[in-house]
Amino acid sequence: MNETFVRESFLQERADSKIRCNVCERRCLILSGGKGWCRTRENRAGRLVTLIYGAISSMAANPIEKKPFYHFYPGSAAFTAGSWSCNFGCPWCQNFDISKTAPPPQGQYLSPQRFVELTEGTGCQGTSISFNEPTLSLEWSLDVFRLARSRGLYNTFVTNGYMTAEALSLLIEAGLDAMNVDVKGDATVVAKYCKGIDVEKVWAACKLARLRGVHVEITTLVVPTVNDSDSTLHGIAEHIVTGLGGMSPGT
């Protein structure tokens, strides 16, 4: 185990002889010595730790449209980093080489300070945590967001939207400005292919984010024969209109 990346995990609670992780809606119950579903959090003698604080698998200065965000600071660039693993199990993942890789990673350690320096040094207007599921990098993201906001930079997440309301609140308080949520299909598709995920909890996170003033965009990667039926795509559109209040003026 590479101890460089180990930090106390946020949002943990004792549950009898186990620890519950409340970072994402899997809310794993983890035995001593065990790890959560995502393999990034480990119960060490009754304390939960994250194994990926500052563990960077990939990093790049990208146009904001590549995140993708189409209605948030168009024409700007976001300095983007990702880590390892995921809390979903989608078989079609485009970033499978990092999302299906369990820590301990072979990646480099990057402090939040250095990440923000690189953001400014590359002429970017903001940050983005992306590539793998950013919720798993909660603790590092919070430190990045606070620092970036204090420097006048924006902060974004490209996410599957399965963070808990508690985690989302922490992110918003730290300076999350926008998130792009990948809604992968209807309830049946998401439960089957993403391995036991409740898509209604994704929509709930989107709704909460909007209510708290976060800019939200929805993406769906259309996978032929999996989530390309009219009913699935109409259902997603219906959720956007009725649950999220449709599109913002000018979009």
Give least dist CB 163 to ligand SF4, A.
8
3-state helix, strand, coil in the chain (%, to 5): 30, 25, 45
Hey, what are 80's tokens? 């983007």
Could you tell me if 41 and 35 are in contact, meaning their C-beta atoms sit under 8 angstroms apart? Answer: yes
Under rule CB under 6 A, residue 38 binds ligand SF4: yes
Nearer to ligand SF4, 42 or 217 (CB): 42
Q: What angle do CA 118, 120, 124 make, to 5 degrees?
A: 100
| Interaction residues for ligand SF4, span 45-104 (CB under 6 A) | 87
| Smaller CB separation from ligand SF4, 153 or 208 | 208
* R_g of the chain computed on alpha carbons: 17
Regarding 28 and contact with ligand SF4 (CB under 6 A), the answer is yes
* Sole window of 34-42, 69-77, 187-195, 208-216 interacting with ligand SF4 (rule: CB under 6 A): 34-42
Residue from 5, 6, 19, 26 binding ligand SF4 (CB under 6 A): 26
What is the rounded CA–CA span in Å between residue 198 and residue 184? Answer: 11
Minimum separation from the CB atom of position 238 to ligand SF4 (A) = 28
Single out the segment in contact with ligand SF4 by CB under 6 A; choices: 31-39, 56-64, 199-207, 238-246: 31-39
Residue 2 three-state SS: coil
HEC per residue, 146-206? HHHHHCCCEEEEEECCCECHHHHHHHHHHCCCEEEEECCCCHHHHHHHCCCCCHHHHHHHH
Q: Which of 19, 23, 176, 194 binds ligand SF4 (CB under 6 A)?
A: 23
Query: What residues between 216 and 245 interact with ligand SF4 by CB under 6 A?
Result: none
Give the residues lining the site for ligand SF4 (CB under 6 A). 21, 23-24, 26-28, 36-38, 40-41, 87, 136
